[in-house]
A and B are shown apart, each in its own frame.
With several copies, the nearest count.
Chain A
């Protein structure tokens, strides 16, 4: 772990995300890097293909801000609240302008897995007797070489950039996550470039004390960005809760293109990075999201000399 990969968010996004790239900000409900999404908006990236199982508020904001050309996804919504209205505005009706490439959850997981494993396809028992292979001709049947059974295949997904939020990493990018793991590991290994955003930068010895907890090795990481509350309004297990108030507020904001524009002005373009966003949210709001304590306990790896 020789050199440090620590960078500012502005540096990391400028260096790794280019117009036209396929970008995946992953994390299933948990650990969604809103901080990175906002920086991409601020840097006015264009023509991005945004991949993600669940285009959440963050992609609704990015689509609303005009960075995206296309979505690759499996479930489109504001979880527990309703629809994504900025996305709906450009996908419904005669003037639908956002390209969609649609799978199921396991199909997306399989695509990242095939990408990570350098496989030309991933097989799964899904899609039988549905219209999904018609809507998306990249979902293709394949016969087993044993007994002629039919399954479906999805193609590998290898994003140019994958951005992962995590509880902690060391300077070399060795990253540990607990709580929901989603498909962050598969997505990161499938990526050409990985940016890790963390709540906390820790010493290498903290990572090395519990190597089974490491989800992403520094080997595949381009940059480590330290951004406490960087997943707000989503959550970071053990650090803060989902800020549900914002998920509810977004429903109203996103229904109105001009309200959305004002929100971006105020909370994205108008703040100085994530520090500005945190300051604007205020200490009290952030403190109200802190959970009580539920320690994992420690196990012993043994010292073998």
Chain B
């Protein structure tokens, strides 16, 4: 039985575990820059559980969204109707994000390295790539200007790599060189601080290196090592992620994604 099969043997899916783990990381955070898909569900779950005062900001220009259905895209009309404020992207990126009002930004990634540097641009050579990915969108400014960044992605040897093919968004700027860079460039943010995958949860140590802090139920350290291209730093006390509670699963399944679009 491989890792994913073992996870499948639990009564929740790997996606559900990712969402629940991501939601819990939002405890105490106030303003979140929301991407659609897994982050959207994670953020809304947090708002119903660990972070009831959380304010949602969508890069399309919406603050205080109150969607009446699960948004189909990041610019769905349902996030506009009955929102608190709708504004231009100039203002959203300039005043909210670069202005320092965003506590947490969520990013996905095609490739990530141990420092949290992210590639969402190309696989292969930039001029003649084997796969042309979407590119930055707002990712590079989210990584720099959100107070911290949560990365949510599935883990594999193809995605957790030694060297990413293109640096779309900068990694965790900790350590001596990082401190210099941050001051010279006036960075507000701490960069990626959490990485949540289908296998576990990572945080970043003082030197800005990803550290495995918890394994999802049914996942072993060997499973994790098998799905990444470097030897990970591991917490002294590696723990098992608490499985989703019945209430968390009810909210995800009945309230947030009743059609199972993102969670099956």
Contacts and interface: CB of A to CB of B under 8 A. Distances in A.
B25 to A, nearest CB: 21
Contacts of B188: 118, 125
Interface string B228-258: 0000000000000000000000000000000
Nearest to B61: A180
Contacts of A186: 88, 90, 95
B185 interface: yes
Given A92-B129, A104-B137, A219-B55, A181 B185 contact: no
Interface in A123-158: 124-132, 135, 149-151
Contacts of A131: 121, 126, 166-168
Contact of A294 (B31, B82, B129): B82
A181 B91 CA distance: 10
Contacts, number: 254
A181 B140 contact: no
A305 to B, nearest CB: 5
Contacts of B100: 118
B89 interface: yes
B61 A189 contact: no
Nearest to A77: B134
Interface in A276-305: 291, 294, 301-305
A79 B80 contact: no
Interface string A203-218: 0100111011010011
A211 B83 contact: yes
Interface string B202-245: 00000000000000000000000000000000000000000000
Query: Which one of B129, B132, B141 has the highest number of Cβ atoms from chain A below 10 Å of its Cβ?
Result: B132
Nearest to B191: A129
B140 A109 contact: no
Contacts of B63: 214, 217, 219
Contact of B145 (A88, A125, A185): A125
Contact of B82 (A178, A211, A235): A211
Interface string A94-138: 101000001111100100010011111000111111111001000
A79 B72 CA distance: 9
B185 A150 contact: yes
B5 interface: no
Given A117-B98, A127-B140, A242 B73 contact: yes
A303 B81 contact: yes
A106 B98 contact: yes
Contact of B76 (A74, A218, A242): A242
Interface of A: 1-2, 28-30, 53-54, 73-77, 79-80, 83, 87-88, 91-94, 96, 102-106, 109, 113, 116-120, 124-132, 135, 149-151, 172, 174, 178-183, 185-186, 189, 204, 207-209, 211-212, 214, 217-220, 235, 237, 241-242, 244, 291, 294, 301-305
Interface of B: 31, 36-37, 52-53, 55, 59-64, 66, 68-69, 72-78, 80-91, 93-95, 97-101, 121, 126-141, 144-145, 166-171, 173, 181, 184-188
21 contacts: A30-B80, A75-B134, A76-B134, A77-B134, A79-B36, A92-B132, A93-B128, A93-B130, A103-B136, A104-B140, A105-B93, A116-B99, A126-B98, A130-B168, A130-B169, A132-B136, A181-B88, A211-B84, A214-B86, A219-B101, A301-B80
